[in-house]
Amino acid sequence: MENPRQDTKARIVDNAVQMFSAKNYERVTMRDIAAAVGIKAASLYSHFKSKDDILTGVYELFEETAAGIRPSPAALIAMAETAPPKQAVGSAFFYFRPTDHEKMLRILNIAYMMSGSDRRSREFFQRHVFDAPRLYAGNILRKLVSLGRIEPLDIENFLVLQTYFCFGAILRSFTPGVSVREEWESGLNALLELIRSTEQEH
Amino acid sequence: MENPRQDTKARIVDNAVQMFSAKNYERVTMRDIAAAVGIKAASLYSHFKSKDDILTGVYELFEETAAGIRPSPAALIAMAETAPPKQAVGSAFFYFRPTDHEKMLRILNIAYMMSGSDRRSREFFQRHVFDAPRLYAGNILRKLVSLGRIEPLDIENFLVLQTYFCFGAILRSFTPGVSVREEWESGLNALLELIRSTEQEH
DNA sequence: GTCTATACTTAGATAGAC
DNA sequence: GTCTATCTAAGTATAGAC
């Protein structure tokens, strides 16, 4: 079923992710995608019934990959109970680290750019960048506070700041010529200053 | 020279700002803009020589407005010397408050969406969202620290977090159906927790 | 599943009358 | 400066042979 050299459908999606995130959906033509894959535009229609359908394929790829790397609720609780507090909070970001999962970030960037005119993209973006991370980080923070491992803080405000920081870093990371990695580390360090451990540092 | 009812050129730019930020440059047609202004598409070409030229007009509007509201270096120093520290830092954001200068934020949003394929937009965005605010806030923070009005902090890290937070809030503010105002206040409160005044609170 | 050829549509831009 | 009419280019998508 899976002929690795031959899975044209997957290669179309991969190339579309690269190109849509680097330029923007409307400025990437079916001919562009076909050329990157090494086929003719008409052949794309053997795999996807429209350009919009390729975008659907892109979002499906994200969902599948996310399902594979998402920490389980049990793992999150374990983190909150035993890992160093700052690390526990950091773990809630999973696919946001610009160093990992670059393809995932590219897809989120595409979804943002489509948000203005495509409802599906808007909801996808909301779900993955705002709702889910806020839920994860919120659970970890509440657990850390209730365990007395960190000093109490305004969790809602923290979550907003954290979410917007991630949001900014995601979008920033695909501006041509910008390397967001050091900035990600810097910003994260500043953000985690807000988490004050009650335990002695090693 | 300025016939307020009749300055079609300015009305074209205003409508273009609304429409480009709500949808995205490529999905707004010359016919759309003309219809919003109340003229025919061909008439746009009496005011601008191309669609791209309208975008130039949009950025020029931003530059002119920014020049009018930018605090002077002297005003910033005065802020750092006398205003409550958190307020002084907050003042470095000037046109980022989602409650004010909505048109400015819309223009920044347009520039972001164009960044992938338009160098001028990319440089414009970099200048106004990253370089200038970082310079302003950095100067205020260094002044506050050197005056002993706040406890020392890692200014570089703080600036990264601050810049990305603003960046996120700007972009977020034009996602349809999202009201960013309360979140802006929440995130800003969290961010300013990192600024610790050495003076007694009122 | 891929190709060539082409249909169809839309968008940016121009010509020229008023 | 605005209009109607129109040109031209480009992009999505289809038809039908191999």
Question: Which CATH number characterizes residue A10's domain?
Answer: 1.10.10.60
At B130 the pLDDT is: 94
Contact A85, A144 (CB under 8 A): yes
Structure tokens at B14: 């205003």
Q: Is the CB of B181 under 7 A from strand D?
A: no
Q: How much is the average pLDDT of A77-100?
A: 85
Is pLDDT of B153 > 70? yes
Query: Does one domain contain both A58 and A78?
Result: no
B98 contacts in chain A (CB < 8 Å): none
Query: Does one domain contain both A75 and A122?
Result: yes
Of B36, B64, B92, at which residue does a domain stop? B64
Is pLDDT of A149 > 90? yes
Q: What are phi and psi of A10, to 5 degrees?
A: -65, -35
B191 contacts in chain A (CB < 8 Å): 161
Of B38, B64, B90, at which residue does a domain stop? B64
First to last CA, chain A: 52
Structure tokens at A146: 């209730």
Of A48, A64, A80, at which residue does a domain stop? A64
Calculate what percentage of chain A has a pLDDT beyond 90.
77
Among A122-126, B45-49, B73-77, B91-95, which is the least confidently predicted range? Answer: B91-95
For B146, the domain range is: 69-202
Confidence tier at B3 by pLDDT (50, 70, 90): low
Confidence tier at B73 by pLDDT (50, 70, 90): confident
Interface contact B193-A194, CB threshold 8 A: yes
Is pLDDT of B1 > 50? no
pTM: 0.94
Nearest to A33 by CA among B176, A146, A5, A42: A42
Structure tokens at A105: 């970030």
Which range in A56-60, A96-100, A135-139, B74-78 is most confidently predicted, on average pLDDT? A56-60
Q: Which residue of chain A comes nearest to B157, CA vs CA?
A: A186
Confidence tier at A1 by pLDDT (50, 70, 90): very low
List the 153-182 stretch of A: residues with Cβ below 8 A of B: 153-154, 156-158, 160-161, 163-169, 171-172, 174-177
At B201 the pLDDT is: 60
Confidence tier at B4 by pLDDT (50, 70, 90): very low
Q: Where are the alpha helices (DSSP H) in A7-154?
A: 8-22, 30-37, 41-44, 51-69, 73-82, 85-91, 102-114, 119-125, 132-146
B171 contacts in chain A (CB < 8 Å): 112, 167-168, 171
Interface contact B187-A167, CB threshold 8 A: no
Matching residue, tokens 């003719």: A40
Is pLDDT of A127 > 90? yes
Interface contact A187-B160, CB threshold 8 A: yes
Query: Does one domain contain both B104 and B74?
Result: yes
Query: Does one domain contain both A73 and A124?
Result: yes
Helix (H) or strand (E) holding B68: helix B51-69
**Would an 8 Å CB–CB cutoff place B198 in contact with chain A?**
no
Interface contact B23-A168, CB threshold 8 A: no
Nearest to B184 by CA among A79, A163, A140, A133: A163
B161 contacts in chain A (CB < 8 Å): 161, 165, 186-187, 190-191
Q: How much is the average pLDDT of A143-170?
A: 96
Length of chain B in residues, anyone?
A: 202
Is pLDDT of B105 > 80? yes
Q: Is the CB of B35 under 7 A from strand D?
A: no
Confidence tier at A202 by pLDDT (50, 70, 90): low
Is pLDDT of A18 > 90? yes
Query: Does one domain contain both A79 and A169?
Result: yes
Query: Does one domain contain both B3 and B43?
Result: yes
Q: What are phi and psi of A40, to 5 degrees?
A: -95, 155
pLDDT digits (tens, 9 = 90+) for A37-64: 999 999 999 999 999 999 999 999 999 9
Query: Does one domain contain both A187 and A89?
Result: yes
**Could you tell me which residues are beta bridge partners of residue B150?**
B197
A186 contacts in chain B (CB < 8 Å): 156-157, 160-161
Nucleotide nearest to A8 (CA to C1'): C1
Query: Does one domain contain both B44 and B87?
Result: no
Specify the higher pLDDT residue, A35 or B182: A35
Confidence tier at B93 by pLDDT (50, 70, 90): confident
Structure tokens at B15: 């409508």
Nearest to B175 by CA among A152, A176, A117: A117
Q: How much is the average pLDDT of B68-75?
A: 88
Among A29-33, B77-81, B169-173, B190-194, which is the least confidently predicted range? Answer: B169-173
Point out the residue among B153, B160, B172 whose CB comes nearest to the CB of A183: B160
Query: Does one domain contain both A89 and A13?
Result: no
- Looking at the structure of chain B, the number of domains it has is 2
**Would an 8 Å CB–CB cutoff place B120 in contact with chain A?**
no
Nearest to B165 by CA among B144, B142, B140, B192: B192
In strand C, the nucleotides that come within 7 Å of a protein beta carbon are 1-5, 10-16
Query: Does one domain contain both A114 and A166?
Result: yes
Q: Is the CB of A41 under 7 A from strand D?
A: yes
Q: Give CA–CA dist A107/A167, Å, rounded.
A: 13
Q: Where are the alpha helices (DSSP H) in chain B?
A: 8-22, 30-37, 41-44, 51-69, 73-82, 85-91, 102-114, 119-125, 132-146, 155-172, 181-192
Query: Does one domain contain both B84 and B144?
Result: yes
Interface test with B, best of A52, A164, A166, A182 (most B CBs within 10 A): A164
Q: Give CA–CA dist A109/A17, Å, rounded.
A: 10
**Could you tell me which residues are beta bridge partners of residue A150?**
A197
Query: Does one domain contain both B73 and B10?
Result: no
